[in-house]
Amino acid sequence: MRTITSTLVALAVISTASADLKSDINTMNTAVTKAFMKKDFVAVEKAMKAGLAPGFKYVEAGKTQTFDEMFQGVKGGLGALSKITNAKAVTSNLKIKGNSATGTTTHTIEAIMVMDKKPHKMVMVGTSKDEFKKFGKDWKMTVMTWGSQTMTLDGKPMGPAMSGSRPPKK
User: What was the pLDDT predicted at 108?
Assistant: 92
Confidence check: pLDDT of 170 > 90: no
pLDDT reading at 164 higher than 80: no
d(C-alpha 113, C-alpha 146), whole Å? 23
- Do 110 and 123 touch, CB atoms closer than 8 A? yes
Model confidence pLDDT, tens digit, residues 60-92: 999 999 999 999 988 888 778 899 999 888 888
- Residue 110's identity, in one-letter code, is E
Of 53-57, 85-89, 124-128, the range with the lowest mean pLDDT is: 85-89
Q: Is the dihedral of CA 157, 76, 40, 64 positive or negative?
A: positive
User: Which overall architecture, per CATH, does domain 2-163 show?
Assistant: Roll (3.10)
Phi, psi of 136 (to 5 degrees): 65, -120
Parallel, antiparallel, or unpaired for β 138-153 and 52-60? parallel
DSSP-assigned letter for residue 82? S
Domain parsing of the chain, residue ranges: 2-163
C-beta of residue 79 within 8 angstroms of C-beta of residue 100: no
What predicted TM-score, i.e. pTM, was given to this entire model?
0.79
**Given CA atoms 153, 159, 165, 169 in this order, what sign does their dihedral have?**
positive
Residues 84-116 have pLDDT tens digits of 999 888 888 899 999 999 999 999 999 999 988
